[in-house]
């Protein structure tokens, strides 16, 4: 592709050079002929011709300036190689985003969160969230890992009401650990929903998650587990109460669990344990209390924390900064949306007034291109783009031609005529309908430009027609049309009547 461009450029230069030489030869011949009559006349005529040619070339370059000016590209930064470097870069980007947020409460909250991540203690404890449905045995698992009964164990759902944090240490690991026992998920009632939201927040901030189940994955468990893995969280799936299954059934269950997860967890990251085994009846009477079996989980945790402990913290820090950046982006996008809506609101009624007071033979949306060009410039400023008035005119004309080519101008008139008929039959054929239609088309154009700027000055794979058609359909909703017609009657009809 690049070679063809260079070849076309070379051919264009050769053709231009030939044209210049031919022009110079023609001017020289003309000068020779005129000089025989009068040297002064020859100089005046040749000077006038050269000035006219220079003026035409300059005017052409001026008109083509918006199209010839290369679009400013953002600098391509080298991607950080390590999570901590990436997290630092993300925090800097988040700070730049936060500076653009106008809502003081949201800006302050994001600044505090960013500062807490930026000044996090390098020796901070690695956090492990024990997560799962109620009564899956999370607290019993925590008690056994710690070697002491720190939490209440019960059969009823919701035994753990709030998160509980316990310091923990494993041999041959210098970094401190924290085990967090979270409330259960998928519990009924408002209180259960609130506890689940709190548990999810804890899991989202933890470095490692022990997702505890006691049977095959239920739908609620599967949905939450897939969401956590989709976030990029490091998860160990812990099948508790393994003592209830015969060995063959246990292996079959573990195999099903491995096959259900997409993307799959490593086989080493799915372990079966028995934190609080059930007593077994003895021959001749009595019960035998079996010993807890957490050996597979302890072995996997020891290997994982020793080998990946620092990486888990760095990866989690990177994930936290990414989530913070996404939150800031959503706030800025909402803020820009509100500003853009206000601009469209203003210009759509300016367009309506211009059409209502101008005696056009028909609804010519191209006649309002100048108004729409200024709207494009203001929308571009909201989204941090650089669009000149000339570029704005070109974009406005492109959308206007697209609206006409898709037949949406006539569709708008028919749509609004039907809506106005029930509200204002006396001015159906008058300027009010034309002005209202112009306002509606300006609204569609403005909405289309919002998508254009949101996609970094691109119409996307479907092109301009797809974007315009989509916005036309979205703005045909009944509630939107009723509100628009009501405001049009209040704004446009008085102008048309006057």
Where residue 147 sits, what CATH number does that domain have?
3.40.50.300
Decide if 411 is inside a domain. Answer: yes
369 and 261 share one domain = no
What percent of the chain clears pLDDT 70, i.e. is strictly above it?
A: 82
CA distance 47 to 65: 27
- How far, in Å, CA of 136 to CA of 155, rounded? 9
- Domain hosting 180: range is 121-280+288-293
Residue 404 is assigned to a structural domain of this protein: yes
Same domain, 242 and 381: no
Q: Please check whether residue 90 lies inside any domain of the structure.
A: no
Tens of pLDDT along 91-127?
788 778 888 888 888 888 888 888 777 766 667 889 9
Verify that 391 and 248 share a domain, yes or no.
no
Domain boundary at 231, 266, 293, which?
293
Distance CA 447, CA 405 (A): 18
Phi-psi region of 272 (alpha: psi -120 to 50; beta: other; left: phi over 0): beta
Question: Over 60: is that where the pLDDT of 154 sits?
Answer: no
Structural contact between residues 271 and 239, judged by C-beta atoms closer than 8 angstroms: yes
The strand pairing partners of 128, in sequence order, are 179, 208
Residue 67 pLDDT grade (very low, low, confident, very high; cuts 50, 70, 90): very low
Residue 86 lies in a domain: no
- Own/partner contacts of 418-425, CB < 8 Å, gap of 24 or more, are 419/481, 419/482, 419/485, 420/485, 420/488, 420/489, 423/485, 423/486, 423/489, 424/489, 424/493
> What gap in Å lies between CA 140 and CA 181, rounded to an integer?
10
What integer pLDDT is reported at residue 147 of this predicted model?
Answer: 87
Q: Count of domains in the chain?
A: 3
Per-residue pLDDT tens for 50-60?
Answer: 888 877 777 66
Domain final residue, candidates 42, 57, 72: 57
**Is 72 domain-assigned?**
no
Residues 143 and 254 in one domain: yes
Which residues does residue 293 pair with via DSSP β-bridges, in sequence order? Answer: 274
Is 236 within a domain?
yes
Q: How large is the average pLDDT for residues 323-341?
A: 90
Residue 308 covered by a domain: no
Q: Are residues 268 and 359 in the same domain?
A: no
pLDDT at 273 over 90: yes
In a shared domain, residues 340 and 270: no
How far, in Å, CA of 232 to CA of 222, rounded? 16
pLDDT of residue 120: 64
pTM (2 d.p.): 0.62
- In the numeric block, which tokens belong to residue 363? 């609804």
What's the rounded mean pLDDT across residues 450-465?
Answer: 90
Our CA dihedral for 250, 252, 255, 259, rounded to 10 degrees, sits at -130
In a domain, 322, yes or no: no
Q: Are 200 and 349 in the same domain? A: no
Q: For residues 346 and 411, state if they share a domain.
A: yes
Same domain, 271 and 150: yes
Residues 143 and 262 in one domain: yes
In this predicted model, what pLDDT tens digit does every residue of 399-417 receive, in sequence order?
A: 888 888 888 877 777 767 6
């Amino acid at each position: 592709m690049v070679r063809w461009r260079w070849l076309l450029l070379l051919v264009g230069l050769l053709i231009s050079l030939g044209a210049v030489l031919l022009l110079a030869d023609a001017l020289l011949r003309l000068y020779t002929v005129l000089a025989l009559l009068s040297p002064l006349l020859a100089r005046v005529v040749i000077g006038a011709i050269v000035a006219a040619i220079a003026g035409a070339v300059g005017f052409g370059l001026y008109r083509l300036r918006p199209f010839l000016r290369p679009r400013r590209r953002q600098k391509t930064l080298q991607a950080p190689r390590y999570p901590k470097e990436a997290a630092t870069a993300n925090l800097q980007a988040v700070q730049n985003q936060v500076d653009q947020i106008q809502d003081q409460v949201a800006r302050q909250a994001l600044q505090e969160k960013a500062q807490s991540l930026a000044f996090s203690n390098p020796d901070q404890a690695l956090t492990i969230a024990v997560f799962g449905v109620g009564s899956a045995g999370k607290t019993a698992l925590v008690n056994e890992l710690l070697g002491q009964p720190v939490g209440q164990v019960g059969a009823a759902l919701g035994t753990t009401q709030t998160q509980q944090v316990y310091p923990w240490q494993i041999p041959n690991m210098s970094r401190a650990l924290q085990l967090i026992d979270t409330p259960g998920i998928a519990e009924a009632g408002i209180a259960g929903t609130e506890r689940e939201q709190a548990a999810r927040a804890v899991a989202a901030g933890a470095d490692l998650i022990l997702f505890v189940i006691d049977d095959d994955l239920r739908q609620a468990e599967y949905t939450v587990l897939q969401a956590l893995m989709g976030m990029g969280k490091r998860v160990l799936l812990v099948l508790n109460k393994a003592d209830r299954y015969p060995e063959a059934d246990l292996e079959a269950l573990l195999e099903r669990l491995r096959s259900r997860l997409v993307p799959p967890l490593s086989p080493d990251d799915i372990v079966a344990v028995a934190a609080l085994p059930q007593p077994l009846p003895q021959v001749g009477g009595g019960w035998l209390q079996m010993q807890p079996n957490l050996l597979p989980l302890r072995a996997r945790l020891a290997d994982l924390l020793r080998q990946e402990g620092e990486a888990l913290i760095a990866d989690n820090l990177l994930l936290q900064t990414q989530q913070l950046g996404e939150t800031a982006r959503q706030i800025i996008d909402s803020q820009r949306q509100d500003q853009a809506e206000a601009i469209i609101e203003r210009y759509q009624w300016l367009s309506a007034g211009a059409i209502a007071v101008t005696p056009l033979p028909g609804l010519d949306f191209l006649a309002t291109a100048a108004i729409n060009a200024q709207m494009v410039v203001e929308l571009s400023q909201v989204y941090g783009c650089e669009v000149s008035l000339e570029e704005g005119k070109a974009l406005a004309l492109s959308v206007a031609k697209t609206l006409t080519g898709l037949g949406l101008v006539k569709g708008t008139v028919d749509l609004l005529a039907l809506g106005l008929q029930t509200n204002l039959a006396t001015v159906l054929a008058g300027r009010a309908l034309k002005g209202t239609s112009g306002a509606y088309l300006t609204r569609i154009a403005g909405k289309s430009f919002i998508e254009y700027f949101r996609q970094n000055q691109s119409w996307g794979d479907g092109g301009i027609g797809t974007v315009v058609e989509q916005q036309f359909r979205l703005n045909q909703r009944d509630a939107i049309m009723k509100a628009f017609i009501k405001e049009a009657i209040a704004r446009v009809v008085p102008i048309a009547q006057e």
